[in-house]
């Protein structure tokens, strides 16, 4: 079993990483592995894990919260029939949640503006009396 890295951080706490084989340091603090670590960091930015899927999905027109519900139902049905991979559907579901939250915030802003205008009208009416 790997031991805890013996490196002491600036704030005086011990590193929480596990030491690499044949060393008392983790990969981040082992002096002999610095070049390997830098290479891993450089390669991490060039990872090709993202794969564009060739799905012929129609654009979703979403103008109201009801459209969000319709899009969610459509997405569920497309997953169930095998037309849409579950990971893609999960992303769509998350984004639909973001859109729905935006509608809620916009609606709340409109309601606040309406209440403020009513209050201004009432104050003006009271001052005229």
> Is there a domain that residue 56 lies in?
no
Q: Are 6 and 24 in contact (CB under 8 A)?
A: yes
For residues 87 and 115, membership in a common domain is answered with yes
* pTM: predicted TM-score of the whole model, two decimal places: 0.50
Q: ∠ at Cα 6 (2, 10), nearest 5°?
A: 140
pLDDT score recorded for residue 125: 84
pLDDT score recorded for residue 50: 56
> Is there a domain that residue 27 lies in?
yes
Tally the C-alpha atoms within 13 A of residue 8's C-alpha that lie toward its C-beta. 2
Structural domain count of the chain: 2
> Is there a domain that residue 42 lies in?
yes
Identify the domain containing residue 115 by its residue range: 65-128
Write out pLDDT tens, residues 2-40: 789 999 999 999 999 898 888 898 888 888 888 888 887
68: CB partners within 8 A, 6+ apart: 62, 96, 99, 100, 103
In angstroms, the CA 68 to CA 101 distance is: 11
Mean pLDDT, the chain, whole residue set: 87
pLDDT score recorded for residue 1: 60
Q: How confident is the model at residue 41 (pLDDT cuts 50, 70, 90)?
A: confident
For residues 33 and 73, membership in a common domain is answered with no
């Amino acid at each position: 079993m790997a031991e805890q890295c013996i490196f002491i951080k600036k704030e005086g706490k011990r590193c929480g990483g596990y030491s690499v084989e044949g060393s008392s340091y983790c990969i981040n603090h082992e002096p002999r592995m610095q070049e390997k670590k830098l290479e891993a960091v450089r390669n991490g930015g060039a990872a090709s894990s993202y794969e564009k899927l060739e799905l012929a999905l129609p654009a979703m027109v979403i103008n109201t919260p009801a459209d969000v519900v319709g899009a969610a139902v459509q997405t569920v049905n497309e997953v169930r029939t095998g037309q849409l991979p579950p990971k893609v559907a999960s992303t769509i579901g998350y984004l639909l949640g973001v859109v729905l939250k935006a509608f809620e915030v916009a609606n709340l802003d409109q309601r606040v503006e309406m209440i403020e205008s009513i209050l201004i009208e009432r104050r003006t009416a009271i001052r005229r009396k």
